[in-house]
Amino acid sequence: MIDAARERIIDCDWHYQDSFKEVAAYMPEPWRTKYKHSNWDDAGVKQNLSSFFPTSTGDRQNYGKVVREHSNYPDEPEEPERVREGMDFLDIDVSLQISHLILAMGGVNADDKRVQAFTKGYVEYMLEEVLDPDDGVYGLAPMPYSDVEASLDILDRIEDEEAYVGACFVTAGASPPLGSRKYDPIYERCEDLDLPVVYHTGGSGLDEYVRAGYQEMIETHTLGFLESNMSQIVSVACQGIPEKYPDLDIVFMESGVTYIPGLISRLDEEYLKRPEEAPLLDTRPSEYITDFYFGTQPLEISARNELLELCFDMIGTDRLLYASDYPHWDFDSPSIINDLPMLDDDDRRAILAGNAEGVFGL
């Protein structure tokens, strides 16, 4: 086992607790004024959104059980200095900040530009107030991918900004799914800029995930967070994004690892029977998918060791990225990786930092 305190640790998924109140000042009009005078303020931070009466299948903090000592989450917007405090608590050297509020973008149905305005404002706000590469705090730029032009504008904006090391696509609610040719220009630009595409699962629509009527968050969170990523992995692979843009680094975040062997095994089985439906692929989809990178959180450490070992073997320890997801309710500490008995120390260092150094150029 390595002495994690003496090693470099890069956390590929930290959620900055952005609030509409702060980001609105950076948003273009009319949204700047609309949000400033709305009652949205900290909505989303408190996760009550429009709920006058709670309608969610579950409280993320598990009805008072889970509290966060080193973050304002979930009661107040975050303060930039608390990110460093939390990183010190977890002994993390570098973190990639991902917007908390953008995780809900899949639930936006309105035919206006609120998502575009929010992402534009968020990128500026984080640059101005939060991100600090000299202190190890980097960011992923959220893509309002349903609007390709707006997404390209954001990529143009961050092109020369050291603080942004990737583009984030929230997988929940993406329709058409993210392998669609509609998104090709975004992928092409990311490849040109050498910016990894980070697909991040999300909770929008979770309460009525695929079908309405689930009772508890244990059901909706287990299913929804998993399927939001699974659906996009299948789409991105089958539609040949890795063949179209071979130098594009692809990362999937926040669904653990145990789903991947099952998914790719099933997909390969289908592919061998109907390869004409994925004509851009030269070989089995699993060969492409195991070239993707995967955030480890929430790692299924209660599973049998031989299952995790098989997962790591099939995915490759050179493809796994430590991610905390702090301050969310199911965060992983670096010790989750360090304590795994089936890894050697080189693997531990690779997962905790080395792989991320390569992908994100850190």
Residues in contact with other proteins by CB under 8 A are: 62, 64-67, 69, 329-333, 335-336
Nearer to other proteins, 52 or 63 (CB): 63
Shortest approach of other proteins to residue 196 CB, angstroms?
28
Shortest approach of other proteins to residue 343 CB, angstroms?
17
Nearer to other proteins, 319 or 328 (CB): 328
Nearer to other proteins, 69 or 282 (CB): 69
Nearer to other proteins, 3 or 69 (CB): 69
Nearer to other proteins, 67 or 280 (CB): 67
Shortest approach of other proteins to residue 322 CB, angstroms?
14
The answer to whether residues 14 and 328 touch, using CB atoms and an 8 Å cutoff, is no
Shortest approach of other proteins to residue 340 CB, angstroms?
13
Nearer to other proteins, 257 or 278 (CB): 257
Shortest approach of other proteins to residue 286 CB, angstroms?
31
Rounded Cα distance, 306 and 300, in Å: 12
Nearer to other proteins, 65 or 211 (CB): 65
**Residue 29: partners with Cβ closer than 8 Å, 6 or more residues away:** none
End-to-end distance of the chain based on CA atoms, in angstroms? 24
Shortest approach of other proteins to residue 184 CB, angstroms?
40
Shortest approach of other proteins to residue 82 CB, angstroms?
17
Shortest approach of other proteins to residue 74 CB, angstroms?
13
Rounded Cα distance, 30 and 113, in Å: 10
Nearer to other proteins, 88 or 128 (CB): 88
